[in-house]
Structure 1
Amino acid sequence: MKTSIIVQNLKCGGCANTITSKLSEINNVLDLKIDIDESKVSFNYKNEVDVLAVKDKLKTLGYPSIEDINSLTSKAKSFVSCAIGKF
């Protein structure tokens, strides 16, 4: 199955690199695509547990879904994730 998640704090290629790297580590998450302009993370998955794992990982990295609160902590985490993704 295929889904997309609109995330907050996605600003550049560094962010996209970090998201791609970390989400690729999750089993059953395939064909990952990041659309920076639309702040969208799209992927194929096998079951709902996979989607929840992706949402949790995104939130941990500082890219909460649009339904979640975008706290100052999330913004700071995304800044660090972005910087790491640029290297």
Structure 2
Amino acid sequence: MSFTLQVENIKCGGCANTIRKRLLELDGVAEVNVTVESGTVEVVADEALRGSVVETLAKSGYPESGSVEGLASAKAKAVSFVSCAIGRMDGAK
């Protein structure tokens, strides 16, 4: 089974690396495919994990599209910059 989420703040491969790493740490997630250009995240896992995936993405600065606005949106963008930088460093190893 798989499901696809439209998320905000995906800018580059560093973002994609962070998303993949954090979601693969969740029990039951078998595979994660991130498409930077469209801002989509495909997760191969049971649909029952959708809430945990959405929560993990939001904590990492990549909230589901349309789920945050105002100050929460600005905070998510700031968190995503840090997550992106970490993803770039992890990808360079």
In the superposition, the TM-score normalised over structure 1's length comes to: 0.93
Question: CA shift at 1:45, angstroms?
Answer: 1.4
Structure 1 segments of 4 or more deviating over 3 A? none
- Supply the distance in 2 between the matched residues of 1:74 and 1:46 (Cα, whole angstroms): 26
Identity of aligned residues (%): 37
In the superposition, the TM-score normalised over structure 2's length comes to: 0.87
- Supply the distance in 2 between the matched residues of 1:18 and 1:44 (Cα, whole angstroms): 17
Alignment of 1:41-56 (within 5 A): 41-48=41-48, 50-56=49-55
**Structure 1, unaligned runs of 5 or more:** none
Question: Counterpart of 2:74 in structure 1: which amino acid?
Answer: L
Question: CA shift at 1:15, angstroms?
Answer: 0.3
- Supply the distance in 2 between the matched residues of 1:67 and 1:27 (Cα, whole angstroms): 26
State the Cα deviation string for residues 61-84 of structure 1 (Å, max 9, x = none): 000001311411100000000011
Question: CA shift at 1:24, angstroms?
Answer: 0.5
Question: Counterpart of 1:22 in structure 2: which amino acid?
Answer: R
- Number of matched pairs: 86
- Supply the distance in 2 between the matched residues of 1:67 and 1:26 (Cα, whole angstroms): 24
Alignment of 1:1-87 (within 5 A): 1-48=1-48, 50-70=49-69, 71-87=73-89
- Supply the distance in 1 between the matched residues of 2:66 and 2:2 (Cα, whole angstroms): 19
Return the structure number with greater helix share: 2
Question: CA shift at 1:46, angstroms?
Answer: 2.0
Question: CA shift at 1:47, angstroms?
Answer: 3.9
Q: Secondary structure at the match of 2:58?
A: helix
Question: CA shift at 1:26, angstroms?
Answer: 0.3
Question: CA shift at 1:57, angstroms?
Answer: 0.3
Q: Secondary structure at the match of 2:55?
A: helix
**Structure 2, unaligned runs of 5 or more:** none
